[in-house]
Amino acid sequence: MRAIAVTPKKAGSAQQVELPKPEAARGLALMRVLEVGIDGTDTEINNGEYGEAPPGSYVLVIGHEALSVVETVGEGVQGFAPGDLVVSTVRRPDDCPNCRAGESDMCLFGNYTERGIKGAHGYMGEYYSEKPEFMVKIPAALRRFAVLLEPLSIVEKATFQAWKMQERMLWQPKRAVVLGAGPIGILCTILLRLRGLEVHVYAKSAPDSQQGRILADLDAVYESVDDHPVMRIKDELGQVDFILEATGNSTVAFQAMAQVGTNGVICLTGVSAGNRNVEIPADVINLQMVLGNRVAFGSVNANRRYFEAGVQHFQQAEQRWPGIFDRLITRRVPFADFKSALDRRPQDIKTLLTIAAG
Ligand code: BGC
Ligand code: ZN
């Protein structure tokens, strides 16, 4: 079968490879991949900054956001049948207590693998096989945009955890800020609007961009960072209860910490693979964190519980804003043009690599 693989740590190494077709062995389902979403992690892996091949392999099949259809199921597989649509989770557990409790996204030992990222092949090929416990069934009505479930699961986790932390007091959040208008920023805005918050999105793209129009239809306020610098958020908006950092820019992350309101919480989701040192208003941040009971936390990955929450929210959001998720998919690229799919263009929100029809 055809797949796209990189040589980890080698920049621009993505290439088409030929691999044996996996089998639906006992306890496994064989999945035919329909389409794969590309994100910043894939770009970083293809830039040679991140990624690890499976043991015994020189290459890593990339791709961790995939919509697939069950082709066959092996002996002993229950709950799935040929034709079912599936999105599989990314992380595979080690034997730490959290992983054993189904929370591999909170892994303690760090010996987890991540399909398409760390020590396990991903989904950017014609087929893959998987255990049912890592497969999430997708209602047929969500076919067009279900490939967005993995990035949605990331913000499901981030928001769930923030709200859980805030159970430390009486908390009635009204205003949120989202930094970045990529898929993570927009998907988080959708969840926050479903929760009834006023949302301000700070980003670089122009308000008349596709991002800006989507956010306007969500009744979120789009603020261009050219006119509204992150350092002024607090002065411009007043009390901000929740901030989601989704730019992956560490300068922005630290600047934003000084903008959270009293008793507020900021969640960092962007990964920065570099070694940058920046100047930050350390005294101001320290003082504010203490005097305002503020919380700053990082959030990575998502376990299947968050994928399942995402399936519910897909349905709720689609009812309220019909077609909203389709508008996030700005490019569909045929398999042969995988290199162009991996190149980020300014107008892109989510790019998909089409693997098969169906
Ligand atoms: C993926 C996560 C993963 C993280 C770090 C992200 O792009 O969505 O599942 O845990 O990268 O490897
Ligand atoms: Zn673990």
* Total residue length of the chain: 358
Q: Among the atoms of ligand 1, which is closest to the Cα of residue 42?
A: 7
- Exposure letters 90-100 (e unless 16+ CB within 10 A, then b): bbbbbebebbe
Task: State the Cα–Cα distance between residues 41 and 297, nearest whole angstrom.
Answer: 20
Judged by its nearest atom, the ligand closest to the C-alpha of residue 91 is: 1
Task: State the Cα–Cα distance between residues 303 and 305, nearest whole angstrom.
Answer: 6
**CA of residue 240 relative to chain centroid, distance:** 23
pLDDT reported for residue 337: 97
pLDDT band at 138 (very low <50, low <70, confident <90, very high): very high
Ligand 2 center from residue 130 Cα (angstroms): 19
Residue in this structure with the two tokens 């005097």, named with its chain if needed: 291
Q: State how beta strands 242-245 and 265-268 pair.
A: parallel
pLDDT tens for 205-233 read 887 899 999 999 999 999 999 999 999 99
CA distances from 244 to 138, 201, 298 (A): 27, 10, 10
- Please list, in sequence order, all residues whose beta carbon lies within 8 angstroms of the beta carbon of residue 106, skipping any fewer than 6 positions away: 98
Model pTM greater than 0.95?
yes
pLDDT tens for 299-327 read 999 999 999 999 999 999 999 999 999 99
Tell me the best of 88, 106, 117 to mutate to test the pocket of ligand 1, counting ligand atoms within 8 Å of each CB and taking the most.
117
* Domains present along the chain, CATH in parentheses: 2-145+325-354 (3.90.180.10), 153-298 (3.40.50.720)
Which tokens belong to 315? 């349905």
Ligand 1 center from residue 21 Cα (angstroms): 25
Ligand 1 pocket by C-beta < 6 Å: which residues? 39, 41, 64, 90-91, 114, 117, 150, 154, 300-301
- Exposure letters 339-356 (e unless 16+ CB within 10 A, then b): eebbeeeeebbbbbbebe
Angle at 127 between CA 47 and CA 325, to 5 degrees: 70
Judged by its nearest atom, the ligand closest to the C-alpha of residue 95 is: 2
Tell me the best of 45, 47, 64 to mutate to test the pocket of ligand 1, counting ligand atoms within 8 Å of each CB and taking the most.
64
Tell me the best of 114, 115, 134 to mutate to test the pocket of ligand 1, counting ligand atoms within 8 Å of each CB and taking the most.
114
pLDDT tens for 96-137 read 999 999 999 999 999 999 999 999 999 999 999 999 999 999
